[in-house]
Structure 1
């Protein structure tokens, strides 16, 4: 009975977006360079694709989050499943189930981050009671 929006932030070493276009969401489903894209396959399936070869060297992290639109909280939703695969048709290489949410309205789901010359993936599961607007501002996106 609620909508969940998956979003992504393309971040520099200060964990800030370099421009508002580095906030990828349903209204702007692709970063300016096309490296990060949001794909929606129906109301329950949302994916973020990242082309690591296209990301500029200044990008240090891609944070992926989810936000509930409306009065519901993630404790009402139940478990959230995240998976990682090296391509849309490739087998899953990592997965995590995030199921400890209570009153949170936004969840930081996962991060791709640069460590030296390599990219790594980490499931996060950090929740926030505030809505998406506060999370977006925290990463340096101007909200009108």
Structure 2
């Protein structure tokens, strides 16, 4: 899966060299990889850098989400060459963190966030910790 979110941000779960080459040909300069080592889906720096990408690894364990994750992700987005492709095993972590970053940068309401999430086809399973993570962000903002 590869989905453009804005002109400079895209999300997905691409791992094959052919698909990464296509993303490179679209002009993407940075890949932010959110997979953890135990998942077995992390991209290999050498292979990705050969395609001309700057690779940033921010392992995000969806079972252990901490408040530091979003600022670390935002720092990577704000300091990296764009456009940026953010990926994880399913695309869910990539989508949620990218949309929360946009929500902060553009002062979205929770409703605007949900509309963009739904427009991208991002679905949560019942009891999804990432959905709770996003919900918590908006609860803190409304206080």
TM-score, shorter chain, exceeding 0.5: no
Structure with the larger RCO, 1 or 2 (CA within 8 Å, 6+ apart): 2
Higher share of residues assigned helix: 2
Give the TM-score normalised by structure 1.
0.29
Q: Which has the higher strand share?
A: 1
